[in-house]
Amino acid sequence: MTHRKRKSDVSEYTRDEVELPNEKRSKVGSNTNDLLLLNDTHYIETDYQTVFQTIADKLINSYELVLNAKHIFRLSEIEFYFYHQTRHPDTFAHRHPEQQRHSNWYFHRQGTSSTASYKAGTYKGVDITFGSPNDSSYGGILIRSIENKQTGQIYEGSCLVVDAILNLCDCKAIKELVEAKLNKNLRVFNEKSTMYLRPIQTATAATQQIIASPRVGLTLKVPS
């Protein structure tokens, strides 16, 4: 099976200032609660591209990742996966049941069972879930790289991102993080959590230009 490359699959930033057109921003609500909730019943392909760009702009320019209450990160590179059988049949989406709930953390698992073990080694990854209400869709925004805003250190690669999260949250394994530290509460905007996204408060924060490109590292086999 071939893979259709979409221009908005991967988003990262450069240091130039940019402003997305208003018509692109209008596809996604401005409130935290609906940022990752799509009203896509009548979407066509180009609508998804526009929404991916808008969400990427908001996540990269308006939110920061907080770990263990003291480590602050910018999302530097994110990658979109979204599956709906007719509107957006992206066969590379994991299609795990956890990806049917929006605004959650999803740590990659070995299969689609709710009890499947977490992937280990270089196969680790974490998504921000997004999707449609009351619909058979699966959405995951893979975090491919993050930048420590205090030290400037960059963690590049989905496995190294998870390794950094585990280390800075004082955990040895994903299971420990999810069950002991997060108490199985995987909401990404939960400010009482050990790991969460919060709005950037600094009024002078530089706006980063969003660069879109095809996804990388995908094989042409149908994923399990």
Q: What percent of the chain has pLDDT above 90?
A: 56
| pLDDT at residue 181, rounded to an integer | 98
| pLDDT at residue 185, rounded to an integer | 97
Q: Residue 204, CB half-sphere, CA atoms under 13 Å: how many?
A: 0
Tell me which of 86 and 199 has the higher pLDDT. 199
Domain boundaries, the chain: 45-197
| pLDDT at residue 33, rounded to an integer | 62
Which residue in this structure is represented by tokens 């019943």?
41
Distance CA 105, CA 88 (A): 22
Tell me which of 61 and 92 has the higher pLDDT. 61
| pLDDT at residue 123, rounded to an integer | 95
- If you average pLDDT over residues 6-12, what whole number do you get? 48
Helix runs in 172-221, H state only: 174-176
Tell the burial category of 99 from Cβ atoms under 10 Å away from its Cβ (0-12, 13-18, 19+).
Answer: buried
| pLDDT at residue 14, rounded to an integer | 41
Render pLDDT for 112-167 as a digit per residue (tens, 0 to 9): 998 999 999 999 999 999 988 767 889 999 999 999 999 999 999 999 999 999 99
Say which range, 99-113, 133-147, 205-219, has the weakest mean pLDDT: 205-219
Distance CA 219, CA 52 (A): 22
Say which range, 45-49, 79-83, 92-96, has the weakest mean pLDDT: 92-96
pTM metric for this prediction: 0.81
The pLDDT-based confidence of 201 (bands split at 50, 70, 90) is confident
The pLDDT-based confidence of 6 (bands split at 50, 70, 90) is very low
